[in-house]
Structure 1
Amino acid sequence: MSYSGDPGDALAPDDIDDLARRARDGDRDALETLLAAVRPRVLNICRGVLPYSGDAEDACQEAMLNVATKIGSWGARGRFTTWLHIVSVNSARTTYRRLKNLATPTDFEDGAHDRPDPRTTSVIAGTRLDLLEAMDTIEKDHPQYVEPLLLRDVYGLPYDEIATLVDAPLGTVKAQIHHGRKLARPLLRGER
């Protein structure tokens, strides 16, 4: 097994899992090869959440750093790429939150601040800001629903794989997704 760094030379899932196990066990060369192999995938995941290339690149860098420093937390119960998905999505969401917090509202003559409505902005810009806002809102009171909901409805992972990944019974995961959807629907329709 060798990887040249060219996205066309993608490794098979078993090869990625093998590299991840070796990297988790301290093999620095395996870690470098793994990072080069998964970077295109991580960037695509981040682009799926953040519409602007520079923002997606920032999130990708954060995700790659998290993979390198936290690979020991991958339990090897499921595919490494499933764990990688969660790390990447969380990095993209963190980048979004950081950018949102750094945004400066526009000042008007009367001193009022005007923040763009993410529900309207997302429709115009074609982004997923409405989804990110909904997930942030749900996460405040019901954090247990966000990860399973994103993994199922955004990334299309099967229920059993999500259950393994979040270490919860299959029925619990299905219920969390169902309840998460019920909470998300009105937010995505603008019924805050």
Structure 2
Amino acid sequence: MNENKFIQLLKKGDEKAFETLYNEYASKIYGLLRSYLKEDEIEDALQDVYVRIYRGIKGFKQRSKLSTWIYKITVNTAKNYLKKQKKNYLSLDFNLEKNKFTSKENVEKDVFDEIDYEFILNSIEKLPPLDKTIIKLRDIEGLSYYEISKIIDKPVGTVKSRLHYSRKKLQKIIEEDQNEGNG
């Protein structure tokens, strides 16, 4: 089914469409929320995300892809939780089915191809929150620069430069972690 038909079913309140949406996005939303929130806040935030999707779908104007709109709701929900809690505790744990983390940029590709996936996830956890989010959305979720810019409210140029510097930071962390492991 194409995205337009799917969105129309969601707008009509079709129960099966919402079930499909849940099945399609639950792990992605959960993983993104984990980039921002503590474990005990995630379930409540996840429910809030789905309530906001349910309430807001009729007003969705389709100026972006459905996934971009959902990620934007997720990031905004997480930010609201952080504001409410007045905490900056962040933890990141990717709940993904991939076996490798690979960069789309050739500069980092060779390094990433040779390193254990779990090792990289542990290294990503050491990055600042925005860097974690950008790397996750671009390199793991495969979103475009434009989609990421809409999700994090930054211009496309900023997303590109942040991604570049985030990857460089990650590469340095990986090299340091490898040296610690070998030394």
- Please give the TM-score of this superposition, normalised by the length of structure 2: 0.50
- Structure label with greater radius of gyration: 1
* Relative contact order higher in (CA < 8 Å, ≥ 6 apart): 2
